Amino acid sequence: MSQEILLNDLFQGLSAEEVKRYSRHLSLSEVGSEGQQRLKKSKVLIVGAGGLGCPVGLYLAAAGIGQLGIIDSDVVEISNLQRQIGHSEKNLGLLKTESLAETITSINRLLRVELISDKLQHNNAPQIFQKYDVIVDCSDNFPTRYLVNDAAFFANKPLVSASVYKFQGHLSVFWPKSKGGCYRCLYPVNLPESMAPT
Partner 1 sequence: MGLLQSTEVLKLILGIGKDMIGQLLLYDALKLDFKKMNIPKEKTCQLCGVNPRIRAWLDAGKVPVIEKIGFEERKDNKDQVSAHWLSVALRNRRNIMLIDVREPHEWEICRLKGAEHHPVNRIKTDDFTKDLEKIIVFYCHRGVRSERTLKIFQDLGYENCRSLAGGIDAWAEAIEPDMPRY
Work out which of 7, 35, 74, 116 binds partner 1, going by CB under 8 A.
Answer: 35
Asked if 6 is part of the footprint of partner 1 (rule: CB under 8 A), the reply reads no
Cβ atoms of 100 and 86 closer than 8 Å: yes
According to DSSP, the residues that pair with 161 across neighbouring strands are 137, 172
**Distance (Å, rounded) from C-alpha 41 to C-alpha 148?**
23
Cβ atoms of 146 and 183 closer than 8 Å: yes
Work out which of 121, 142, 185, 187 binds Zn ion, going by CB under 5 A.
Answer: 185
Stretch that binds Zn ion, among 11-19, 25-33, 163-171, 179-187 (CB under 5 A): 179-187
Asked if 170 is part of the footprint of partner 1 (rule: CB under 8 A), the reply reads yes
Q: Which long-range contacts (CB under 8 A, 24 or more apart) does 33-37 make?
A: 36/11, 36/64, 37/13
Of residues 11 and 153, the one with the C-beta less far from Zn ion: 153
Of residues 21 and 184, the one with the C-beta less far from Zn ion: 184
Asked if 132 is part of the footprint of partner 1 (rule: CB under 8 A), the reply reads no
**Distance (Å, rounded) from C-alpha 144 to C-alpha 24?**
37
Q: Which long-range contacts (CB under 8 A, 24 or more apart) does 82-89 make?
A: 83/51, 84/49, 84/50, 84/51, 84/53, 84/54, 85/54, 85/55, 85/58, 86/49, 86/53, 86/54, 86/55, 86/57, 86/58, 87/54
Residues 148-167 that bind partner 1 (CB under 8 A): 149-151, 153-154, 158, 160, 162-164, 167
Asked if 184 is part of the footprint of Zn ion (rule: CB under 5 A), the reply reads yes
Asked if 59 is part of the footprint of partner 1 (rule: CB under 8 A), the reply reads yes
Work out which of 60, 101, 113, 128 binds partner 1, going by CB under 8 A.
Answer: 60
Element housing 185 (H / E): helix 183-186
Stretch that binds Zn ion, among 65-73, 115-123, 155-163, 180-188 (CB under 5 A): 180-188
Residues in the site for Zn ion, rule: CB under 5 A? 181-182, 184-185
Residues in the site for partner 1, rule: CB under 8 A? 30-31, 35, 38-39, 42, 44, 51-56, 59-60, 63, 65, 122, 125-126, 133-134, 136, 138, 141-143, 146-147, 149-151, 153-154, 158, 160, 162-164, 167-176, 178-182, 184-192, 195-197
